[in-house]
Each structure stands twice: as structure tokens, then as C-alpha cells.
Structure 1
Amino acid sequence: MPPMTRPLRSVLYIPGSKPRALEKARGLPTDAIIFDLEDAVAPAEKAAARETLREALAGDYGTRLRLVRVNGLDTEWGAADLAAFADAPCDAILLPKVDGPETVEAARQHAARPFWAMMESARGILHAAAIAEAVEGFVLGTNDLARELGCETPAGRMPMMTALQTALLAARAAGIPCIDGVYNAFRDEDGLRAECAQGKALGMDGKSLIHPAQVEVANAAFSPSEEEVDLARRQIEAFDAAIADGQGVAVLDGRIVENLHVETARRTLARANA
């Protein structure tokens, strides 16, 4: 399955317990928001955060994709979170630490909603293909994954590459979006830009973010460049001209252009238009 055309370049975590942050998010140019009830909320605040977030979601977040990350069912808050957002105005529930499709099925017993999965454990990565068939999207939890693997996290992320690509392969096979993990040094724009470029090169749909200052960099990195758009248009034009002339392939800038290249070009233009 091809990557999605809906823009998911920037996917920003917002604590569900912070009314000011929830209000500010309405004006941020992020493509999607993860309203977080899990890691970003202290245990003593979790029940109150539930109500704060339900009130906030009644407001207008425009066309942004709205994901609510709940606590796991193995915690004292998970079942109540799912019940509270079973009918809330959000697009999907994001489940943490999904180790297999049974995690999703257990959540369905509490809420009949679309689900996304946090891919952040070794077991989850090994069951990525089965999980992908049970959910609407993946968000990579690279911090938790690195901790469980016991690997270092240098620039380039080579120790994590097998896990990143395994999750992406599963997402593509199922036809669902795959969002790259966070970049922790939110003041390091050059580092973020490099990691976004790597994620885009791998085929990720966008980047999960921990700070509003990261949104602009992610949006730019995951948007088709002017050069990519120009090439896509010229590939389509060259191929259409070749077909009209009775040819099965075209040649553009010294390179063969086949139908598969045209499909990629059309997706590039669809992304740019979206």
C-alpha cells in the first residue's frame, strides 16, 4: 500500500492536564495533535486531566487529526480513560505499549473507536504486522524502545534502524500511516532537521514532536520540495506523451519513467495539494 496523502508531517504531543497548552494548540500549524493522558500527566493529576481534556475537545481544532493517548489497561487509569473518551470528539484513541493485536482487542471491549498504536517495545516490533492489521496508524515511541533494547541513540539512529524499518514495513503492508519518534533536544533545530530528513528518506509520514517550536521544521521537512513537485509534474507529462505516442515508457532527464514512477509522482502532487 502507498503512503497516505493526508498531511501528517507534524504530530504534536500536548499534555491533557494543561488548559493553557490545550487552548494554544488550536492556533498551531501542526497537522495532528496527540492529547496525552499518559507520560505527560502526573499520577495525581490523571483523573482531573480526563475531565480537562474532554472539555477542551468540545472546542474547535480545525482539520487537525486528534488522537487521545490513554493510559494502558494494565494501569489503574486505563479503563476509565477508554470509557471517558468512548464518545468524545476525537479521531482515534492512541494506545500505549501495544505488544500485540490482543492489546487492541482488549481496548475494544471498553470503547468502540478507531485505534492507533504506540510502537515502543521489542515485542510490539516483532508483532508489528499483526498489530498493523488491527489499527489505523502507528506512532513510534523511540525513547521507550531504546530503553527496552538497551541501545545507544547516536545521530543517525543506526542501532534502532531494524526496529524503525520493521514498523514501517508493517504499516505500509497494511496501508496505514507511520509517524516517526520524537527528537528530544527541542532547541536543536539542525539535529531535528537532520532526523526529519532521515525519517522522510525512510518513508515515514511525519514526525512526532514534543514542543511547538519543532512544528515549522517538521512541516518543511515532510512537505514535497519545489524540486520534487516539478519533477513529478514533468514525469507525468512525459509519460502521458509517451503513452499517446504508443510507447509504454518515457525518458526524462536521461532516466526511464514507467507507470510505477508516475504513481509515485501523483502521490507527491496529492501531498503537495493537501
Structure 2
Amino acid sequence: MTRRSLLFTPGDRPKLLWKAADAGADVVCFDLEDAVAPGRKAEARETVREVLADPGFTTDAEVCVRLTAEPADDLDALVGGSPGAGEDAGSSGAGEDAGSSGAGEDGGIRLDAVMLPKVETAKRIETVAAMCAERGLDVVVLALIETAAGVLSAPDIADAGPTDALLFGAEDLAADLGATRTAEGTEVLYARERVVVAASAAGIDAIDTVYTDFEDTDGLREETAFAATLGYDGKLAIHPAQVPVINDAYTPTAERVAWAEAVIEARDDAADDDRAVFEVDGEMIDAPLIAQAERILDRAQAAGIR
């Protein structure tokens, strides 16, 4: 699985929910939180449920729902009832039937992951994961780190069993800190680096913050390239037009793939001669560069270009 791009779509906009499936994002996230006005939460829950349960809803993307501060209400609406209702409503959720094909084949929903906003403790991850299991939903958890407390707890949150990715939210973090957002982003750089380090240490994905000006393609391309240098695996998107730019930034170029393949081939030859260091096109290669080459090839394969 690759998560180069994660596209948010407002949960109360059915036409946009359907369009998101074909936007080319690796992950589509139906948003019940920030993108929905407080008075429209119930309507959004029902709208998302109807789309995810529709047998015609198919997509190659990972399907996620961002929950609100009332996850029990969100989950009850998604499975069509109270705890345990998933068993009566096609509880396979994101398991056997809902994880790879159309929704609603047995009355269930197509759902692969839930996203939790403003996560500050590992316990919250475990609690919501248990709520999902009680309702027959076999999903992973994507944890959005967007408060000072969340940044400080990022290693523990990443280590929680159900956590499959850490997502960095710079805008809410800046508000929490009382910081002023700048184009350079130095006010959130420490937090941005801490999140990606915590995710890497736990062996899970790290997804970078949104770029709010969806008409500024050059700015998005530059910021995405910078996030990639920090070690991020992907980036959040708020508009379909951002998806191809982000995907391109996280897809290795043909030149990088060729270099990586040459490194791996030379590594194998060197291993036959019991050599740990070797040369590729005049460059001395050792363990860190081998690891880099392996990462490039993994990303190329996940992106379907190798």
C-alpha cells in the first residue's frame, strides 16, 4: 500500500464524495469533522453511510472517514445502529468484503480506515479501535497530530497497535501554539520533524500537512518536495487538483529508479565477494545508501511504475 496522497472530501457533499473515488488519490477521506458545519453533522453521517453502503461505490483508493469528537455517534451512524450492529448489517466492514471491492455487497460498508483528529494520547487510539471492533469494523487508525500535547506524545501514539500512520496538521497546531503561520514554516518545523521521526521509529507511514492554497501549484510542488526530504511518505490534499502534483512528488523518477536498481545489483555482486562497500558510477555505496535504494524501489513498486 502507498499513501502518497490523501484527499479530504466534505461528508455532507454527496456529489463530491462520489467524485473523490476517481480523483487518483491513494487515500480518500470522507470528512465528518472540520469540513462539516456543526448543524450538519447528522446529515453528513447519513450521507457518508449511504455512499459507503452503495454497491456502486468502487475505488482503488484506501477509503477513510475522519471522525469527530463524538466517535461513538459517528460509528453508530456508519454501521446503521448501536454497538454490535455491524454484525447485523454486514459486519465485514473493511474486512473480507469491504476492503477491496464495491460497498454494500452484504449490507455492510466499504471502509478501510478511520482518522482521529487532535490525537493526544495512545489511549484514545486504543479506545476508538475498540469501538470499531465492537461494531464489526475491521479498520486501521490514522492519527492526526495537530496539538502541542499530540506532538509531545507522538512516539507513544505511533507505537499504539491500531495506529497505521501519523498525519501532521500544521494549521491547528499553529493555532494551539499561538504561532503565526509563515511561508517558510519554521514555526512548526520542530513538530513536523518530530512527527516523521516518531512514525519512522514505529515503522508506520508519515503524512504531511495540507497546503491551503490549492491554486498555487508551484508552491505545493515546492512544499511537497521539502516534506519528502524530511522523510514523509505522502501529503494531505484538500482539492482534487492537488493530487497529481503530490503523487508526482512522491513517485521516484526513472533516473532514481535506475540508480536504485544499479545499487541493488552491485550490492548482490559485492555480497558474493564478501564486500560491504562498493562503487556505482563513481559513487561509494554503503549501508545507508543501500537502504535508500531499497526505499526508492519500494516506492516505485507501490506506485505501479516497477
C-alpha contact 1:236 1:262 (8 A) present in aligned 2: yes
Superposed displacement of residue 101, structure 1? 1.3
Superposed displacement of residue 91, structure 1? 1.0
Question: Which region of structure 1 is more displaced relative to structure 2, 143-152 or 85-94?
Answer: 85-94
1:110 maps to amino acid: M
User: 1: distance between equivalents of 2:272 and 2:132?
Assistant: 53
In structure 2, the residue matched to 1:31 is 26
| Per-residue CA distance 1:91-134 (angstroms, 9 max, x = gap) | 11111111111222332453224222110000000001111112
1:123 maps to amino acid: A
Match of 2:21, SS? helix
Match of 2:114, SS? strand
In structure 1, the residue matched to 2:112 is 91
Superposed displacement of residue 54, structure 1? 1.1
2:292 is aligned with 1:264: yes
1:117 to 143, 153, 158: 143
| Structural mapping, 1:123-138, within 5 Å | 123-134=149-160, 135-138=163-166
| Per-residue CA distance 1:170-223 (angstroms, 9 max, x = gap) | 111111111101000110011101110011000111110111111111011111
Match of 1:45, SS? helix
Superposed displacement of residue 270, structure 1? 2.1
1:52 to 47, 59, 84: 47
User: 2: distance between equivalents of 1:25 and 1:72?
Assistant: 24
In structure 1, the residue matched to 2:262 is 234
Match of 1:94, SS? strand
User: 2: distance between equivalents of 1:202 and 1:118?
Assistant: 18
C-alpha contact 1:68 1:93 (8 A) present in aligned 2: yes
2:124 maps to amino acid: T
| Per-residue CA distance 1:141-170 (angstroms, 9 max, x = gap) | 111011111222222311111001111111
In structure 1, the residue matched to 2:65 is 68
Percent identical across equivalent pairs?
42
C-alpha contact 2:18 2:57 (8 A) present in aligned 1: no
Unaligned runs of 5+ in 1: 1-5
Superposed displacement of residue 246, structure 1? 3.6
In structure 2, the residue matched to 1:202 is 230
Q: TM-score, normalised by structure 1?
A: 0.91
Unaligned runs of 5+ in 2: 80-92, 94-108, 134-138
Q: Summarize the Cα distance change of 1:228–1:156 in structure 2 as closer, same or farther, 3 Å threshold.
A: farther
User: 2: distance between equivalents of 1:245 and 1:169?
Assistant: 35
Match of 2:9, SS? strand
Match of 2:28, SS? strand
Match of 1:11, SS? strand
1:102 to 123, 137, 140: 123
1:9 maps to amino acid: R
Question: Which region of structure 1 is more displaced relative to structure 2, 27-36 or 153-162?
Answer: 153-162
C-alpha contact 1:156 1:195 (8 A) present in aligned 2: no
C-alpha contact 1:250 1:256 (8 A) present in aligned 2: yes
In structure 2, the residue matched to 1:3 is none
Bigger relative contact order (CA 8 A; separation at least 6): 1
1:85 maps to amino acid: L
Q: TM-score, normalised by structure 2?
A: 0.82
User: 2: distance between equivalents of 1:61 and 1:206?
Assistant: 23
In structure 2, the residue matched to 1:171 is 199
C-alpha contact 2:119 2:144 (8 A) present in aligned 1: yes
2:49 maps to amino acid: R
2:167 is aligned with 1:139: yes
In structure 1, the residue matched to 2:75 is 82
In structure 2, the residue matched to 1:216 is 244
